[in-house]
Chains A and B, each alone.
Chain A
Amino acid sequence: MHAKLAEVVVGYSTEVKPGNVVRIEAYDGVAAPVMREVYAAALRAGGHPTANLVLEEADETLYKEGSDVQLEWISPDQRWNVEHGDVWVVFDAPTNTKRLSNVDPERIARRLKARRPLQSLYLERSARGEFRWLICGFPCEASAQDAGMSLRQFEQVLYRAAFLDEDDPVAAWKRFGDRLEEIGSLLETKRELRIVGEDTDLTLGVEGRSWIRAKGLRNFPDGEVFTGPVETSVEGTIRFSFPAMMRGRQAHDVRLRFEGGEVVEATARRGEGFLREMIGMDDGARRVGEFAFGLNDAISEYTGNLLLDEKIGGTVHLALGRSVPGTGGQNQSGLHWDIVCDLRDGGEVYADGELAYRNGAFLNGASGS
């Protein structure tokens, strides 16, 4: 399966071309077997791959013992990659997802903020088609444990979500891409969306904004359409079904109230202090940078792994903070924090006042995979 995943990553998601500089990264060595396959596939495609394991313990030491200057420092490797690299593949397979749970949130916010220019640059280069980055799932014990299952079970969930159980996964992703195209085109005719669900009634303006069809090129697995809503347009309340997670920390049962596009009230049953620290990071962190529909019906259950959860068919998510270039979103922030809301049980979405989506599916027949 590693070789099959690598072929999709190199041949479809990042389309490595001769002469491309390809950086392959992961936390520690859990993903080493697939990193080797991607390294080989990138060489066969004519690229110049390098691999790097980010050390979890070193990372932890930096957060806990580094001075502010050290925490804000960016290594020459990272800088060059973002400024000049062609392809960046990051495997999401840590050895312990909660390793930073006891780090002072102020430290996390400080580092995120310092990396803001670099983040903006890579998203801009990405939007211009100069830089193809990919966050790729990989089965590991830590993620399986978060999902409350065995590694073998998590492998099945992940590979199914990635269509790797199909004979020709690339063909399946292209077919799925056509469906995302249909939904994206529909949404681009709309000016305003209203999301209604349990403790949720939220209105967002999306007029003139582009909907990106996320079909496995920047996230893998994938399956969503997303945009950057009009910055001042968000009004109302939303309650998130799934915990909000960032660097291993969580806020449970998050509720947000918006006025004029800004969060004016934020509560959580657990982790409220952390929630406030993140939202208080900078001005843009209080605004919505992304709104999205999760459309991958091959993912049905919550696993605590954001890469999968935000794609669950029948969910929507919004991100506080930085918007994604290419959507038309203008919001700037060191934060980009996706939080997921499940609409499969009674949720509704109205587009320009008309019911367009109910119980997790679009009514025009355009649904997920």
Chain B
Amino acid sequence: MRDPRLEKLAELIAGYSLDLREGQVYRIDGEEVSTPLAVALYAAALRRGAHPYTRIVPAGLDEIELEAASDEQLTYIPEVERIATEELDAWTSLWGTVNTRALTRADTERRRLQLSTHYRMVNRRWERISAGELAWCGTLYPSQAHAQDAEMSLAEFEDFVHGACHTREGDDPIAHWQSMSQTLTARARELEGVRELRIVGPDTDLRVVVEGRRWLPSDGKDNMPDGEVFTSPVETGTNGEIYFAFPSVFQGQEVENVRLRFEDGRVVHAEASSGEEYLRSLLDTDQGASVLGEVAFGLNYEIDRFTRDILFDEKIGGTMHVALGGGFDEAGTENKSDLHWDLICDLREEGEVYADGQLVWKTGSFLAEPAVERV
């Protein structure tokens, strides 16, 4: 039976996130398991007069490519992908998979090469998104594999996902995200007056210079669910220590209890209770990989638990996260890297954030609501 919440989610993405218009060319990408949401999005796009098409792949192709492809094949970009990247008006990535750990044992070097090919396209895609030429939204179709990672049943995980998106029965998702957008935008404007943030928490005392950078609201346009404000910090201005209580998952591999020490913007010490070697290999990706490309506040309070999926985890209400690697052009970054690895710091139990010496956040929330400008 069709899940009416999926229709609601599809309407939200087509109508609010992407704002699809008549005649626009729109592609829906995903793995086979995401078919029900792809179909719902396709129908929603048709209703808006757009030209949707789907690119749904069988599971397991990345693994086969890693095993069977030459380096030349691994770095090849199909022309249809280049055309899509250059010409699409709108695009949705559905991230659901049947096994989140299928590539855990893949050869690290070859996987890096495969990903660097992928990121060449993703980077170009972001250029067009930033320039306002392309509307893109990444979301997740709730599948068994992701439910398993989140330590929930599929039914529980579906409830969780639709809660986070505000697409439950009786919800008015568009009204919710419009109001969320106002709040987050006001918060971002407020943070733009701040020179330096100091994050204090368990084993954490980190100073991050954000002066002159633009803060951006994640208000359900590029991701669904969403709910954060973020910027790219000044590349040389990060100092101190930070501890990440949640496991940090990158491309299906997990690193636990990561601790990082920064001096003048760069990681000078990194350790983890497990996966330390992987952590180091990621930091070695390139020059920009040991510099922060992002600092952000997670503000979606429907997301109240760790799921091992960054789409949700980075938005957990009451957390902060930083990303090692490439930053955001719109934020004013100068850091370039093939890596963009989000690490989440839980500040809900005990945590404080100071903005230029003034306490602005305690135990998982800002002390004051931002002044929302009425339009």
Contact = CB atoms under 8 A, between A and B. Distances in A.
| A and B: bona fide binding partners | yes
Contacts, number: 97
A261 to B, nearest CB: 38
A111 B331 CA distance: 46
B32 A29 contact: yes
A324 B120 CA distance: 41
B255 interface: no
Contacts of A78: 53
A55 B59 contact: no
B60 interface: yes
A250 to B, nearest CB: 26
Nearest to A77: B80
B171 interface: no
Count class of interface residues, chain B: 35 or more
A167 interface: no
B39 A58 contact: yes
Q: Is the interface of B mostly helix, strand, loop or mixed?
A: helix
B69 interface: yes
A184 to B, nearest CB: 37
A52 B76 contact: no
Given A32-B32, A80-B79, A80-B80, A66 B57 contact: no
Contacts of A67: 49
Count class of interface residues, chain A: 20 to 34
Contact of B43 (A40, A54, A61, A84): A61
A43 B58 contact: no
Nearest to B64: A40
Contact of A80 (B64, B69, B73, B83): B83
Contacts of B56: 52-53, 55
Interface string B45-67: 01101011111111111001101
B22 to A, nearest CB: 9
B58 A36 contact: yes
A65 B47 contact: yes
A58 B43 contact: yes
B35 interface: yes
Nearest to A34: B58
A21 B79 contact: yes
A57 B34 CA distance: 13
Contacts of B42: 55, 58, 61-62
B125 to A, nearest CB: 15
Contacts of A28: 32, 35
A81 interface: yes
A84 B87 contact: no
A84 B82 CA distance: 14
B65 A43 contact: yes
Contacts of B54: 52-55, 58
B51 A32 contact: no
Contact of B53 (A40, A50, A77, A84): A77
Contacts of B83: 76, 80
Given A43-B65, A58-B43, A35 B80 contact: no
A53 B51 CA distance: 18
B55 A58 contact: no
Counting chain B CB atoms within 10 Å of each CB, the highest count among A46, A50, A55, A65 belongs to A55
B80 A76 contact: yes
A152 interface: no
28 contacts: A21-B78, A21-B79, A32-B32, A36-B58, A36-B61, A40-B67, A43-B64, A43-B65, A43-B69, A44-B68, A46-B70, A50-B80, A52-B54, A53-B32, A53-B57, A53-B58, A55-B35, A55-B54, A57-B39, A58-B39, A61-B39, A66-B46, A70-B51, A76-B80, A76-B84, A77-B84, A80-B80, A84-B79
Which 10 A-B residue pairings sit nearest by Cβ, starting from the closest?
A32-B58, A75-B53, A43-B68, A58-B42, A53-B56, A29-B32, A57-B39, A61-B43, A73-B51, A40-B64
Given A36-B60, A80-B83, 11 more contacts: A29-B32, A43-B68, A46-B70, A48-B73, A48-B76, A52-B56, A55-B39, A55-B56, A65-B43, A76-B80, A77-B53
